[in-house]
Amino acid sequence: MPLLNVSPVDRLYETLPNLDDINIPARAPQPDGATEDTQTIAAAFGDRILAAGLQRDLPFVHVAPADLRDLVTWLRDGELAYTTLIDITSVDLSELPDPDPDVRFQTIYLLRSLARHKALFIVCPLPGGEDAEAPSLARQFPGAIWPEREVMDLMGIRFADHPDPRRILMPTAWPNHPLRKDVPLGGEDVPFSLTWDHPEFDALGDQILDPESLPPDLPPGMNRQNMILNMGPHHPSTHGVLRLVVELDGERVVNVDPDLGYLHSGFEKTGEHRRYKDFVYYTDRMDYLSAMNNNLGYVLAVEGMLDLEIPARAQAIRVIMSEMQRIASHLFWLSTHVLDISGNGMSLLMYATRERERILDLFEMVCGARLTTSYIRIGGVWKDLPEAFLGALSEFCDLFPGRIDEYRDLVKDSPIWRTRLEGIGMVSREDALAMGLTGPMLRGSGVDWDLRRDQPYSGYEQYEFDVPTSNRGDGFGRYEIRMEEMRQSIRIIRQALDRLPDGPYRSDDRKVNPPPRTELDVSMESLIHHFKLFTEGFKVPPGMYYHGIEASKGELGFFIYSDGSGKPYRLHVRGPSFNNLYAISGMSRGLMLSDIITNIGSIDIVLGEVDR
Amino acid sequence: MGLESNLKEGSLVTARLEDLVNWARRNSTWPLLFGLACCAMEMIAAGTARHDIARYGSELFRATPRQADLIIVSGRVSNKMAPVIRRLHDQMLEPKWVIAMGICASAGGPFNNYAIVQGVDKIIPVDVYVPGCPPRPEALLYGMELLRQKQSGEHFSKYVFTPEQPGAPAEAEQAMAGLVPRIG
């Protein structure tokens, strides 16, 4: 008996795995099955491997901390050639069922073999309860130093033989390790009636540390015989609130020590207290210059856990948005970089933001927001593209390549631009791999690696595009790469526009996406789905999952440990800027003070993502 | 067009000194070159050609707090950053104004957690709150319009420090001794 003009709904919605027979919370299951690589590892290491196999489609190897260094060195130097350490994270297991009082923490390492297009996760359960210690991988991979400091700071795990065991994000006097499960989320429960006269008001400011509790320590390895200079956190050229302690011999840089955390916002801890669909809105505010990329990275991780099918139209829209965002982000990089180092910077800032505003206008057309878009949602996108959008976008695609030529003509042969970029900020191919650099930083050192082409996601395999690389290894090479990436993005957008498929713009899985409003009037089942979705959210099967995408600055990855409930048990973000920024010390040593500014711009950092 | 075309050679204009000074201050409020997070991007957008903050005399972002009149707190304030912002504000000379741009600077926004100070008004006094996440450049310009309205009605007496006031600058005490209002 159809009511209104809506056809009755007769499809079965139970497409998600049934979680009713799992006791929630649950631990991540042990890996099962095998791949060639896990078999090779198991054959080589025998009993020293605690478990090996697949979890969903990702290969995991469990190993005791005593064997971790041997395994990693063997993987790096052996035939498997896992040459890059992408990420280190950790999980506090204490609130999962059957807690083992001795093994409270585990660390998780992600290695990549760029030559063989393979990824491998190593899980390392740490004995010692609250006072756990893991071996440091700093000797094997210099890129491990900062992620290990982050784990040390936020989770309170010690790393044996770590060269620089200091806090990295939180203030030095901070009393706890915020990501531990027994530390509350914090924040304030402020009633709206609270006024200045209220006695509770005095207590509100208690969490603010006074400046005296933050002594400016001399970083290790620096010598007071030389000049020690403080740059930031308020400095016009550090692209945000980055603080650098610089040791200078005359005007020559002897050492640079970045001090992070001035924009630490507790994204990961907040994520553990939000439902899966609600965290999309937080991702906008991480790398605030590429919100669409952040949305995409996060939703792909959650969709991977749900095994959700995404309609072809939604995938194409996502690609278009992601590439537009890449252009907008690179335009902002170009304008601020030129502003920092070249005489004609102000005019290029005005020109480049002119085109960026056009992209933001297009974003506004599809979702109403300029910066914090939240357009890409779990299961698809928020709304279909409006009619006027396609025409406006193809107009932009026609106009933009000519504008890139204009920018190139403005700077490329300028003697200031050339002398300040050529040979400045050198990163060798070996260093780039060892430090775990990604994105234009990696390609600028001659490594041909782009996740869009080498591990395609969201239908990137359908598009033809080139991945620009440069063997220069200096700031000029990275400039050329980013300029070419903008052209390639236009090429991808054109292809996506030409064969934009029709069909739904989001999955019609009612467990994940709310039913359309019209359906609520006729279908009790839809009403229940709607109610459940907006009161408790959807549940995600227990397990570990990671998904990385090629964002404008490099590999942006989301690691999720699900305990089967409606919120992530642990959410970790691998921000490209964080790992790339580690390179600044090596790039700047021996150069002039002003070259540090060039290098900051050349790395292209966004502090919201570095500090998270 | 302007005032000068309506005046004859050698004319005089009479006005209250307060009005004249306020007119000058509100049309050349120089902000501090200082950005925190997402809102800073919209602040920069307000400075570029389309929104053109120069129409209101505020295009000159000064990198040192000693030359700035206005601090636009554009983004979330972390516990580690809070002492720095407090010091920047202390280093600015009177008269000085504060705009809390966006919900994070106004009240903590979505970040009600251990890391973020729930509103910059816990550490410095705020004149104008601009809502939004982030506010559009137009919203910031409107916030500055509200600030200009506030600036037009200010009195010199606001900047006279009494000796009893804790932390009153020494020169303010001298100015009080000579009963000369300090106009900053």
Is the confidence at residue A259, as pLDDT, over 80? yes
Best of B33, B51, B80, B124 to disrupt the A interface (most A CBs within 10 Å) is: B80
Give the Cα separation of A54 and B59 in Å (integer). Answer: 57
Largest pairwise CA distance in chain B: 65
Query: Is residue A274 less than 8 Å (CB to CB) from chain B?
Result: no
Q: Which long-range contacts (CB under 8 A, 24 or more apart) does A163-171 make?
A: A163/A136, A163/A138, A164/A220, A166/A220, A167/A261, A168/A260, A168/A261, A169/A260, A169/A261, A169/A264, A169/A611, A169/A612, A170/A261, A170/A264, A170/B80, A171/A209, A171/A213, A171/A214, A171/A261, A171/B79, A171/B80
| CB neighbourhood size of A434 (10 A) | 18
Is the confidence at residue B167, as pLDDT, over 70? no
CB A423 within 8 A of CB A474: yes
Beta-carbon separation of B79 and A270 below 8 A:
no
Domain B30-153 class, CATH top level = alpha beta
Beta-carbon separation of B38 and A372 below 8 A:
yes
pLDDT at B184: 38
**Coil vs helix vs strand at A105:** strand
pLDDT at A210: 54
Give the Cα separation of A202 and A197 in Å (integer). Answer: 9
If pLDDT is split at 50, 70 and 90, which confidence band does A22 have? low
Task: Tell me what the mean pLDDT of segment A62-77 comes to.
Answer: 91
Task: Tell me what the mean pLDDT of segment A578-591 comes to.
Answer: 91
Beta-carbon separation of A208 and B35 below 8 A:
no
DSSP string, A114-134: TTTTEEEEEEEEEESGGG-EE
CATH code, A267-611: 1.10.645.10
pLDDT digits (tens, 9 = 90+) for A219-248: 777 878 888 888 878 887 777 888 888 888
Task: Tell me what the mean pLDDT of segment A359-371 comes to.
Answer: 92
Nearest to A209 among B83, B108, B133 (CB): B83
Query: Is residue B131 less than 8 Å (CB to CB) from chain A?
Result: no
Task: Tell me what the mean pLDDT of segment A551-579 comes to.
Answer: 91
How large is the C-alpha radius of gyration of chain A? Answer: 25
Closest CA to A451 of A147, A119, A120: A119
Is the confidence at residue B154, as pLDDT, over 80? yes
Name B20's bridge partners.
none
Nearest to A282 among B33, B110, B114 (CB): B110
pLDDT at A135: 92
Nearest to A241 among B36, B110, B113 (CB): B36
Helices (H), A139-204: 145-155, 201-204
pTM of the model: 0.88
CATH code, A36-160: 3.30.460.80
Q: What is the 3-state secondary structure of chain B?
A: CCHHHHCCCCCCCCCCHHHHHHHHHHCCCCEECCCCCHHHHHHHHHHCCCCCHHHHCCCCCECCHHHCCEEEEECCCECCCHHHHHHHHHHCCCCCEEEEEHHHHHHCCCCCCCCECCCHHHCCCCCEEECCCCCCHHHHHHHHHHHHHHHHCCCHHHHCCCCCCCCCCHHHHHHHHCCCCCCC
Is the confidence at residue A444, as pLDDT, over 60? yes
Residues of chain A with Cβ-Cβ distance to B134 below 8 Å are 371-372
Residues of chain A with Cβ-Cβ distance to B76 below 8 Å are 263, 265
Instruction: Label the pairing between strands A380-381 and A543-551.
Output: unpaired
Nearest to A261 among B80, B110, B136 (CB): B80
In chain B, whose CA is at the least distance from the CA of A269?
Answer: B113
Quote the DSSP letter at residue A22.
Answer: S
Residues of chain A with Cβ-Cβ distance to B115 below 8 Å are 178, 186, 264-266, 269
Residue type, B116: I
Give the Cα separation of A455 and A452 in Å (integer). Answer: 6
Closest CA to B64 of B39, B33, B87: B33
Instruction: Give residues with Cβ within 8 angstroms of A277, minimum separation 6.
Output: A377, A378, A512, A533, A537, A538
Is the confidence at residue A374, as pLDDT, over 50? yes
ipTM for the complex shown: 0.84
Give the Cα separation of B12 and B22 in Å (integer). Answer: 19
Nearest to B114 among A178, A289, A357 (CB): A178
